Structure formats: structure tokens, C-alpha cells
Structure 1
Amino acid sequence: MANTTVADPDSGLTGAELAHRYGLRVAGERPSLSEYARKLWAYRHFMTAYSRAKVASSFSNTQLGQLWQVLTPLTNAAVYYLIFGVIMSQGRNVPNFIAYLCTGVFIFMFTQSAVLNGTSSITSNLGLIRALQFPRAALPITATLIQLQQLLMAMVVLAGIVLVTGEPITLKWLMIVPALLLQSVFNVGLTMIMARLGSKITDLKQVMPFVLRTWMYASGVLYSVTLFRDHLPGWAATALECNPVLIYIELARYSLLESAHPEHITSSPTQLWLLGVGWAVLFGIGGFIYFWRGEEEYGRG
């Protein structure tokens, strides 16, 4: 009887070569940077809807509901004003200290809350990550969008505080829009960095409140930034004056407060805008690339 064995067309090929021949890809494989950006853009409606749902649900079990979006920064500002404005008399050195302080608190809390939520955005959504295939960068971006929505409501209150304390409405108020956009881009990039680090170092979430509290004291939130030059060596004062959160706080103060400049801001408006753009570009692009490089790691282990 004749031998009728059939030749194996794939004999001698490695697993990788076979996968390539038949168009197979590794599950969860990291796409190219451009493809990743396109996929992320396709999920923009999901991120917007998800962030709105998270904001609505975050205060659903409280009697005052979303009013806490305004009450939280106001309460913080009131406490800081009592300590630094009344007890420590820092208000003597800054005209309209109430508006000066509230602007710093509201702007800093935008970055603070985004970073805190972004640090745990991967570890707190492991079920979603393992169940669905989507660009993981959607999670830290959503964390920033949530805080941006809360900030916008707080800015309405801040505008009222600024007016009640005697500041006039000027065309410079329009500059708050690009200032907040730059800070939002910076926050997205920083949140992506912290999300990847937080997915690797699970204890990072416990450490971040102390880091952020130190950052707040170094950002001129609670007192005049001119104190840096009065009490620190020149190099240290210069380093603190380039602090990105301080830059965005100063841009907001420059936009809203006539009484806060020029002697109560760290740099000229041109320098502030250049630094603000520089930090946004550096962290926006750098944070996105850093997070993308870890795309295959998220949700595993």
C-alpha cells in the first residue's frame, strides 16, 4: 500500500513566524504611539460620559450633593485664611489677601486632586481593565476631567469672591481660560506618570498626601511668593519660582487680581506664559509617552 502522508506546509517555522503568517498578535500588545493616540481619541466620548457619571455619583449619598464641589475648597480656604491671614497676619503683606489665597487654593486643589485620583486610577479599576480592551490612558485622563469639572464650578464661586473683595472685571479675566487649559494639559501628563508609578508601587497612594502637602507649601498658595527671595538662597528661590503649580497659580492671579501684580508675582507675565507652556508641553507629551510604554503591564499580575 502506498504511503500517502501529507506534507506539513508550516514545518520548520517558529511560533513567531507562524503567528506572523496567519496575522496573529499577542493579546494586550502595545500598539504604536500614533495608533494608540488614534484609539484614545476614539474613546473621547466614553471619557467625557464616564467623568460626568463619576462626578454625579461621588456626592449622591450626601444631603448637599454636588454643592460639596464648592464647599470643599471654600472650607479649606477659610481654614487657611484663619491660620495664615488672621493668626499669622500674612494678609498684611498682600493686598486683597482673601482673593489671593482663594485663587491659590482653588488652582492648587485642581492639580492635587487629579494627582491623588490618578495615582490609583489603574489599581482601582483592575476589574474594568481585565474585562474590557481599551486604551488604559483613558483612566488617568478621566481622573483629570473629573477634577476639571469640579474646578469649573469652583471658578464661578472664585469669580464671586474676587468681585466681592473689590477687584474689577477686566479683559485680563479672559486669560484665565488659556491658563486653565495649560494646567489641564500639565495635569493630564502628570496624572499619567503617577498612574503608571502607582500601578507598580501600590504604597505610593499612602505617600502622596505628604508629598502634595509639601508641594503646596512650596507653591506660594498660603502666603506671598516674595517670601522666597526674602528667606532662601538665590538658587533655591529661583527653583521654587519655576515650580509648575506656582506658575499656574501666578497666571490665575495675574488674570483675576489687579492688586496682585506686578510686585506680588514671581516673574513678568511673558516669562510666566512661557514657563506655563513649557511645563504643559513637557509633561503632556512626556507623560503620554511614559504611560504608553507601560501599556502591556496594566492589569497583569
Structure 2
Amino acid sequence: MSQVEDTAPQSLAELARRHGLRPAIARPRFPVYLRQLWQRRHFVLTYATSRNVSKYSGSALGQLWQVITPLLNAAIYYVMFGLILGGSRNIENYTAFLLTGMFVFTYTQRTVSAGARSISGNLSLIRALHFPRASLPLAYTIQELQQLVISMGVLVIIVLITGEPVTWFWLMIPVVLVLQTLFNIGAGLVLARLGAQLRDLNQLLPFIMRTWLYASGVFFAIHDKVVGTAGLPDWVATAMYLNPAASYIEWMRDILIGSHNPPQAVWLSCLVWAVVALVAGFWYFWRAEDRYGRG
């Protein structure tokens, strides 16, 4: 009798393999997984758009908060760092300088933070339906991209008001945003897996984001502050320039502000970070596909 009981599970497993049956939550091969994601692109876009519409539906100003929030943050930092602490003394067109840094950094900050909550905050959906789990971090990235489009329109108007002329370099704005979006997708996927496994990550993330903000030159010129004021070696400033958030900020400033001259390696840093983050992020997230929603 015990021999029959021992062989029954083996027989069932062999029968499943013979007929090509797999567990419902089994992780598909990576190319198949990417194809499944593409097949659900309409779901991802609709989910992102619906979240955007509902996010501010209960407030009187509605979608205007997408623009008001970064503007209020920029105004606070302008008063604190530009006026009180004198951060604007050696920076031409500090208004455009600061707003560009705030809008570009906010896009990455919000995307990464949302990605960290995308799995842990949607467990009921994950357990009820079968779909590629990467759809959720992707949807959150698209949601933040939709908000950025509005913010960038406001930024362009402000930059023009501050006296910056329209140049051919402005055609590179979509290129920077595409590369930044690719980086954000990869970073969001990494944080989504970490957020699903580490329960305390969402408590630590605000402190990590604040440190990243201060290290990315959002409201000060990196070289002048690090080398000129602090007296640190040049390699420290170079390392700060090459961190992904600072790279995308500096390249966007170089496009919008004529007097801004970042290191030439900034554009290469943006490209490398986009490719590495996207490939590594998808692979890292996919490796745990069959574990999301458990426990």
C-alpha cells in the first residue's frame, strides 16, 4: 500500500510532463515572459491612466496637483537654498536651473517609490488573476510619465519666461526622457522585487530618496559646491555627476539652459544607465516571478 502511495505522485508528475502541463504560477522562459508583457500592453496603459484619473479625483483642483506639487517643492527649495543659503549666487538663471532639477528628479523619485509598492500594495490583484507581474511596475512608470508630460510643458514655459531661447538642442528633450524612462523602468522593477521581499523597505525609502536628492545637484552646481566650496577632489564631483539622477538632470539642463556646461561624459552615463538598468531590472524581477503574492 505504501509503495502505491509513493509512486502515485511520481506518476502524476510524469503524466503532467508528458502532456506539457505546468503549474499555473510557474515562471515562463524570459522571451515568453516579454511576449506576454507585450500582449498585455493595453491593460498596462489602461491601468496607468485610470490610476492617474482617480488619484486626484477627490480634490478640488484635480489633475492640477500634478503641476502644483513640484512647483511648491521648487519654491520651498528656492527660498531655502537659493535665497537664504545663497545657492544661486554663482548660477545663471537659477530659476530654470532649480526647476529643471526638481522636475527631472521628481520623475525618477516618484517612479522608484511607486515601483517599491507595486507588488506589496496589489497582493489581492496578484492572487486573484494570472498575468505577468512586471505589468504593475510598468503601469506605475507610465502613470508617472503621463504626469511628467504635463510638468515638462510647464517647465518649458517657465524656461522661456526666464529668457532662454529655443534652440535645435531642444529636439533632444524626448531622447533624454526616453532614456530616463528606460532607467526608471529598470529601477522600478528592482525595487518592486525588493519591496515584495523586504517589508521595511518602504519605511527606509524616503530617507534613501532624500539622500539621493542631496547627492544629485538638484539645487546646487555640483563642481562648484564639491570642489570649490568643500575643497574635495575632482573625482568626488565626477562620481556625483555620473550617478543616474544627476546625469539626466545635467543633460536636461544642458539642453534648456545655454550657460550650463556639464561634463561631456554625462550623455554617455545616461545611455549606459538606461541600458544596464532596463536589462538587469527585467532579469532580476523575472527571476522571482513565481514567488510574488505568496505568504
Mapped contact 1:129–1:136 kept (Cα < 8 A) = yes
Query: What is the correspondence of 1:269-280 to structure 2 with a 5 Å cutoff?
Result: 271-280=265-274
Task: Tell me the matched-pair count.
Answer: 286
Deviation at 1:21, TM superposition (A): 1.4
Deviation at 1:51, TM superposition (A): 0.6
Task: Identify the residue that residue 295 of structure 1 maps to in structure 2.
Answer: 289
Task: Identify the residue that residue 4 of structure 2 maps to in structure 1.
Answer: none
Q: Structure 1: how far apart are the matches of 2:52 and 2:164?
A: 31
Q: TM-score, normalised by structure 2?
A: 0.94
Which of these residues, 25, 28, 31, is aligned with residue 31 of structure 1? 28
Q: Structure 1: how far apart are the matches of 2:107 and 2:251?
A: 14
Task: Identify the residue that residue 5 of structure 1 maps to in structure 2.
Answer: none
Task: Identify the residue that residue 71 of structure 2 maps to in structure 1.
Answer: 74
Task: Identify the residue that residue 283 of structure 1 maps to in structure 2.
Answer: 277
Deviation at 1:23, TM superposition (A): 2.4
> 1:233 is matched by which residue type in structure 2?
P
Query: What is the correspondence of 1:105-144 to structure 2 with a 5 Å cutoff?
Result: 105-144=102-141
1:247-273 Cα deviation digits (max 9, x unpaired): 00011101111122x2xx2x11xx222
Q: Structure 2: how far apart are the matches of 1:177 and 1:12?
A: 56
Deviation at 1:13, TM superposition (A): 5.2
Deviation at 1:228, TM superposition (A): 2.4
Query: What SS does the aligned partner of 2:126 have?
Result: helix
Which of these residues, 161, 170, 175, is aligned with residue 173 of structure 1? 170
Query: What is the correspondence of 1:177-188 to structure 2 with a 5 Å cutoff?
Result: 177-188=174-185
Q: Structure 2: how far apart are the matches of 1:202 and 1:233?
A: 38
Query: What SS does the aligned partner of 1:223 have?
Result: coil
Percent identity between matched residues is 49
> 2:294 is matched by which residue type in structure 1?
R
Deviation at 1:60, TM superposition (A): 0.1
1:177-207 Cα deviation digits (max 9, x unpaired): 1000000000000000000000001110111
Structure 2 residues not aligned, in runs of 5+:
1-6
Q: Is residue 252 of structure 1 aligned with residue 252 of structure 2?
A: yes
Deviation at 1:274, TM superposition (A): 1.4
Q: Structure 2: how far apart are the matches of 1:224 and 1:238?
A: 12
Query: What SS does the aligned partner of 2:222 have?
Result: coil
Task: Identify the residue that residue 147 of structure 1 maps to in structure 2.
Answer: 144
Q: Is residue 94 of structure 1 aligned with residue 86 of structure 2?
A: no
Q: Structure 2: how far apart are the matches of 1:19 and 1:176?
A: 53
Q: Structure 2: how far apart are the matches of 1:12 and 1:299?
A: 26
> 1:253 is matched by which residue type in structure 2?
R
Mapped contact 2:241–2:266 kept (Cα < 8 A) = no
Task: Identify the residue that residue 226 of structure 2 maps to in structure 1.
Answer: 228
Query: What SS does the aligned partner of 2:266 have?
Result: helix
> 2:242 is matched by which residue type in structure 1?
C
Task: Identify the residue that residue 4 of structure 1 maps to in structure 2.
Answer: none
Task: Identify the residue that residue 21 of structure 1 maps to in structure 2.
Answer: 18
Q: Is residue 242 of structure 1 aligned with residue 242 of structure 2?
A: yes
Deviation at 1:239, TM superposition (A): 1.7
Instruction: Mark the CA change 1:97 to 1:22 in structure 2 (over 3 Å): closer, same or farther.
Output: same
> 1:290 is matched by which residue type in structure 2?
Y
Q: TM-score, normalised by structure 1?
A: 0.92
Query: What SS does the aligned partner of 2:219 have?
Result: coil
Which of these residues, 214, 217, 223, is aligned with residue 214 of structure 2? 217
> 2:167 is matched by which residue type in structure 1?
T
Query: What SS does the aligned partner of 2:67 have?
Result: helix
Mapped contact 1:176–1:251 kept (Cα < 8 A) = no
